[in-house]
Chains A and B, each alone.
Chain A
Amino acid sequence: MRQSLCSMVLVSITATAQAAHPVDGVWILERIVEETAAPLTPAGAAVQQAYDLLEDDPSLRCEPASMARVWGNPNSRTGIRVAADHVQLEHELFDLRRSIPGEASGRSGETLNLAGTAFATMGKATYRLDGERLIVTSSGLAAGFLRTGTGYPQGEGASATETFWREGDHLLLELVYRDPALFDGEYRILHRLFATGETEVPVYECTDADYDWFEQLNAEATEGEQP
């Protein structure tokens, strides 16, 4: 059992002295409210057809297959903080950290895990505020999978827009994908999240899904029976 005390080390998402933005907080997915059908082109359908969920899912290696995959994960927290010069997104899943500069800065932010590994499937992002809405635009996404269950693909060079707004005690997130290579139109997912009331996102310490040891266990047990 690898239940390390390190899991109790917490990463702070607490706000600075700056007034909190309405989308600030720690959130967990409550449900997906709406999702359009993936408008796959023939090329997109071919990628999906070739997908083997038992082998190809990057989640098995603790890697984010896509932004949709990260936001679609149940029971894991995301911390959001709108700071003066950047937005900080902290996904508990896979310990992903996104420090996103403003559009006017001329810079963009990538997605790293706590070990410092960058994930190109999440692209490079900038943000802007539209009233009380937070809008994060990511471009240059590397190929991945929007849905690791169905194998909906994400094409090289796709872009995504995440729009966040508060509705009472909940946070709504509209995620819109544009993928000129694999989609005929936009792919849109509307998420509803609830506030956990926490101020910190715990360290996740993902362990790779390795089934080899288990299969070996049964192989040895049955081989031992051979006369």
Chain B
Amino acid sequence: MRILLATLLLAALPVQAHHSTATNFTQEIIEISGTIEQIRFQNPHTSFVVKTEAAPGQAPYWLVESDARSTFQRKGVDLGAVAAGSKVKVSGRKGVRANTLFLRDMVLEDGTVFTSSGTGRD
């Protein structure tokens, strides 16, 4: 896997984000696939709503949370790399709240990998 800037800084520090990432998200890594319906580049957490093909009776929408907009900007991450309507495969830490996860990486259809540290190629 060739990821240029995908060094994730999921540091094991006892530090806290807006709503304490350490406790709002488990250590379990899960993966979902779907289409980005909505993007919110904001502080303290950027979020993506991803619509998946869910089984009948199952909730189809997932809320993928990530770093603050200001953090992305400070790292020089290209926020234009992802857009609503993109088909994506997302992996991240499963949230305590239903259908939430904290972004580890997001792979777009063209192989671009989007992480909190930047974009690269799968």
Contact = CB atoms under 8 A, between A and B. Distances in A.
Contacts of B43: 204-207
Contact of A32 (B13, B23, B56, B59): B13
Contacts of B70: 7, 75-76, 92, 202, 204
Contacts of A209: 18-19, 44-45
Given A2-B40, A207-B42, A211-B97, A73 B16 contact: yes
A88 B97 CA distance: 38
Contact of B41 (A3, A76, A149, A222): A3
B44 A206 contact: yes
Contacts of B49: 214, 217
A105 interface: no
Q: Summarize A's interface: helix, strand, loop or mixed.
A: loop
Interface string B47-76: 001000000111111010001111101100
A16 B71 CA distance: 28
B16 A148 contact: yes
Given A1-B40, A57-B19, A74-B16, A225 B57 contact: yes
Interface string A176-215: 0000000000000000000010000010111101010011
Contacts of B67: 75
Given A53-B20, A73-B16, A214-B63, A2 B74 contact: no
A149 B68 contact: no
Interface residues of B, number: 40
Nearest to B23: A149
A215 B100 CA distance: 10
Given A214-B61, A218-B61, A75 B14 contact: no
B91 interface: no
B22 interface: yes
A108 interface: no
A1 B41 contact: yes
A59 interface: yes
Given A7-B70, A73-B17, A150 B57 contact: no
Nearest to B116: A75
Given A72-B14, A204-B43, A218 B99 contact: yes
A53 B24 contact: yes
Given A1-B40, A205-B43, A217 B68 contact: no
B77 interface: no
Contacts of A54: 24, 96-97
A74 B17 contact: yes
Contacts of A211: 63, 97, 100
Contacts of B11: 31, 74
A143 interface: no
A69 interface: yes
B99 A2 contact: no
Interface of B: 11, 13-20, 22-24, 39-45, 49, 56-61, 63, 67-71, 73-74, 79, 96-100
